[in-house]
Amino acid sequence: MKLKALSLAAVLALSSAVNAEVKIALDSAPDLDTSGSYNWAHAFGAALSDAGMEVREMPRGSVGNESEKFDQLSTGLLEVSLSDVRAIAQVDPFIYGVRLPYIFDDVDHMDRVLEAGKIFDRVNEKLAGQDVVVLALAPLGPLSGIITTDTAVRAPADMSELRMRALDDAQIAMYQAWGSSGTIVPWGEVPAGLQTGVIDGYLNSPFIPVMFGQTDFVKNFADAGVIIPLRAVLVSKDWYESLSEADRATVDSAVETADAAARAWLAEATVRGLTALEEKGVTVQRLTAEERAVFREASKPVYDSGLMPAEDVKIWTDISNANR
C-alpha cells in the first residue's frame, strides 16, 4: 500500500505541470490576418496543447494593464504574457536597444543580433529578482512607418509642423531629431486625438490603422522602416522553473515553433500590410532607399539622447554592425 501511495504521488507530481492550465495574456485581438503577436501566441498555445497542456487565451485587457500583468507574472498568478517592451525596461533599460531607430535592417538581422549578443541571457539576469523570464520577442507587425491624418511624409522636413503621438521620451527625442515634436498620449486616447487635431499622427506598423478601425481619419502612411514593433513574451519564473525537464523542453520547443510561425506571417504581411491600407483609402508613400537613408541619418541624435547608458548603446550598435 505504501509503495502504491508513493507511486501515485510520483505520477501526480509528474503530471501536475502538464495538467495545469497555462494562461496566455494577449496584447491584441485574436486576429491571425493582422496581428503578428497573435500569430506568435496562437502557435505557442497550439504547440502546448498538442503536447497535452491545457491552454487558455486571456483577451486583451482582461487581466489588467501592463503593470498589473507584470505583477501577476511575478506572483505566479499568470503564466505567460505578451507585454510591452517597457515592462522589461522598467527593470533593465538595456532592452530599449530594440527601440533604437534603424538598429535592425529586418527581423532576420534582429534575430542574429539577439543570438550573437546573448541578449535574453543578459536581460534575464536582471529580471530574476522580479521572478519573471523573457522567452522571446514577438514582432507585432512589419517595420514601423509614419502614420498621419493629412500630411504626406517623404522626408523629415515634411514633419516640421506636425505634432506626433509618442510612446515615451525616447520617441519624443526621435521626433525632435526629425525636426518635429511629440507628446505622450495613451493608446486609448489616440483616435480622439487624431480626430480633434491634438496629434497629427504616430509611428507604428501598417496594420495598426486597419486593425483599430482608424482609416476614416488616417490618410497617409510613409513606409520609413524605422523600428520593428515588438512584444516581449514574459513568463512567470516560478511557473517556468517548476516545470519538469520534459515540460520545460516542451515550452522551449513551443517558443521555437511560435517564432517560426510569427516570422513566416511577417514575411507575407510586409507586402500585404501596405495594400491593406490602400484598399481602405490610405495613401502609401513607398520611400526609396535614399529617402530612408535621410531618416536614418537624422535619427542619430537619438542614440545619444539618454534613453540608455552610452556603454549599452555601444554594445547594441557594435553587435548590430557586426551582424548586418
CA–CA separation, 48 and 77 (whole Å): 19
pLDDT of residue 168: 81
CA–CA separation, 135 and 255 (whole Å): 7
Q: Which one is predicted more confidently, 301 or 41?
A: 41
Average pLDDT, the chain: 92
pLDDT of residue 307: 77
pLDDT of residue 34: 87
Q: Which residues pair with 148 in a beta bridge?
A: 201, 220
Count of Cβ atoms closer than 10 Å to residue 248 Cβ: 14
pLDDT tens-digit profile of 1-47? Answer: 333 333 433 333 333 444 479 999 999 999 999 899 999 999 999 99
The label of the residue with cell 514593433 reads: 229
Give φ, ψ of 148 to 5 degrees. Answer: -135, 160
Query: Directed axis angle between helix 245-279 and helix 36-50, to 10°?
Result: 150
Query: Reduced to 3 states, what is the DSSP secondary structure of residue 117?
Result: coil
The label of the residue with cell 490618410 reads: 219
Q: What length is written for the chain?
A: 324
CA–CA separation, 136 and 43 (whole Å): 13
pTM for this prediction: 0.87
Count of Cβ atoms closer than 10 Å to residue 78 Cβ: 24
pLDDT of residue 16: 41
CB 162 within 8 A of CB 180: yes
Query: Reduced to 3 states, what is the DSSP secondary structure of residue 310?
Result: helix
Domain spans of the chain? 16-140+229-271, 145-227+274-322
pLDDT tens-digit profile of 139-170? Answer: 999 999 999 999 999 999 999 999 999 988 88
Compute and round to an integer the Cα radius of gyration of the chain: 21
CATH number of 145-227+274-322: 3.40.190.170
User: Do the domains 16-140+229-271 and 145-227+274-322 sit in the same CATH topology, yes or no?
Assistant: yes
DSSP per position, 95-157: GGGGGSTTS-SSHHHHHHHHHHTTHHHHHHHHHGGGTEEEEEEEE-SSPPEEEESS---SSGG
Can you name the CATH fold of 16-140+229-271?
D-Maltodextrin-Binding Protein; domain 2 (3.40.190)
Q: Which residue from 175, 158, 179, 177 is spatially nearest to 167, judged by alpha carbons?
A: 175
- Cell numbers that stand for 271 in this block: 507586402
